[in-house]
Amino acid sequence: MQQKVRTDTRRRKSVQEHWKERRVRKAVAKDGRKPAEMRDEAKAKLTLSAGQRDRSVTRIRNRCVETGNARSVIRWFRRSGLRVRERALGGHLPGVYKVSW
């Protein structure tokens, strides 16, 4: 499980490094006022090879920071639902408490 957490961390770092240049290239590729050659060049540079795929934002997966679980992750806490419940009941999450009707 820790390998998947390390992989996700590496992907997040790669996306953080390359997001500006990819955003500019996407804007150029979509801009109809630019010459066709420039748009085609931007599209070609957006195409990632196998070693560069981790630069894409869609490769990031939300994972629990404690367990590495990818299911039912609550974004606000970056923890799985089970861990949020355990921490909330234990009083470890400030401002979160159990609701009773």
Q: Please give the CATH superfamily to which domain 63-101 belongs.
A: Ribosomal Protein S14/S29 (4.10.830.10)
Residue 60 has pLDDT above 90, yes or no: no
CB under 8 Å to 26, separation ≥6 — which residues? 42, 46
Please report which confidence band the pLDDT of residue 101 belongs to, taking 50, 70 and 90 as the band edges: low
Q: What is the mean pLDDT of the chain?
A: 87
Between CA 25 and CA 21 the distance in angstroms is 6
Q: What is the mean pLDDT of residues 76-97?
A: 88
Which amino acid does the sequence have at 25? R
- Domain positions in the chain: 1-61, 63-101
Confidence of residue 89 (pLDDT cuts 50, 70, 90): confident
Q: Is 94 helix (H, G, I), strand (E, B) or coil?
A: coil
DSSP 53: G
Tens of pLDDT, residue by residue over 3-36, are 888 888 889 998 898 889 888 988 999 998 989 9
Amino acid letter for position 68: G
Q: What is the pTM of this model?
A: 0.68
Q: For residues 64 and 45, what is the distance between their CA atoms, to the nearest angstrom?
A: 33
* Residue 83 pLDDT: 92
Segment 24-52 mean pLDDT: 88
